Structure 1
């Protein structure tokens, strides 16, 4: 029996922690065949991003057509898109499909991965056709353009038509953390899960959004997929909690053992 197919549209990470490396590993771990469209090649490690080479927009489009013309894609997940043109292209070609948008604008290291034109393209083109958008608090603040609580930001961004999950991970937290899930026309609801205090969290956002896409590809409801994705991330952070890989913020585990 064929596995479901999920597609990641994102940049590479030469350190193997985030981007398409994290997405494809997560898809495989959760029983999904992963396809990928590369939007940018980055030189990065656990300390930061040192170089970005954007893939020509025509090549991004050719990759999308190659996947969609050949494979039965059950869910699409976007990560770093890098340019307003790429955001608009993805919105055009992925509209009508189950679509998880991880609005990558700033890397964990602080590197800016998308400017004001990219932010506007997300708001005007991609979020209105998305199934769900998964910003962390910093990304939610950037998209909204003003301060607010995670609950308030989730409610506001859901007014743009997608469901929204403002993720609540905190590398220094203990006890529990809370994600806020808001669906259009409904009040936000808190989804709590155990906190894992660790500095090995590089790739966590990519891993969460790709796990969410994988569970949607399996046919789960949005809430089920969100809770299972959070549980997967918690498990993987626990596995890598005490690793000493790299000189900066180490990678979240993508191992099953």
Structure 2
């Protein structure tokens, strides 16, 4: 024999009391303070790093790819271009470091486009936060990827025989300059991530921009052996100035001219593409 317990429906008076109590609780309680711009940006940066934790295979491009690049170019072309692989490595490794980090900046735009397609950005726009925080958070999170790529590249270079005459200070200065440029350069891909309809489109456009900039530079060889019309492009490329500055810093020199142009390009890219990106984000 089973017994069933009957529950009487709540009366109107009880419902009214509960509603009044809930309203009083919500109104009486103080609202939490609005997060600062820095706090909101760091939170979204942490979100980007947590995504790496849960999808570690996305680090392939900052681990296996740089190792493959530096070993392949050193041992395949080092003897033909410089007479010895060890001598070519001293010239090549800072350039390959620049190329690897600049190439992976495009994944910022891909991540932005993916979140837009999934509707995540619709939720971000409703939050009472500094409006650029999600964008800045993406870029701050990707700085970790740039640091990891630099550490992997320098580690394999040291094993292969790379010896920077600038010592630890020269290496850190070169990496710091590379991070500043990459942060500014990434704003281009966030703009494409907002403009284009799919992540494949973002990757395709990114490759069309990155390949001429990286291969049409002084990363692999000195421009003096190139045709005159190509030298004009290479000598004025931002990647050329960046690679030359990083190379000289690691060699213990002070590349005032290349350092000036690399920082000028970084400031110009940030000043142009950051406002354009935020305007697109606000209108999306």
TM-score using structure 2 length: 0.26
TM-score using structure 1 length: 0.29
Larger radius of gyration: 2
Query: Which of 1 and 2 has higher RCO (CA within 8 Å, sep 6+)?
Result: 2
Q: Which has the higher helix share?
A: 2
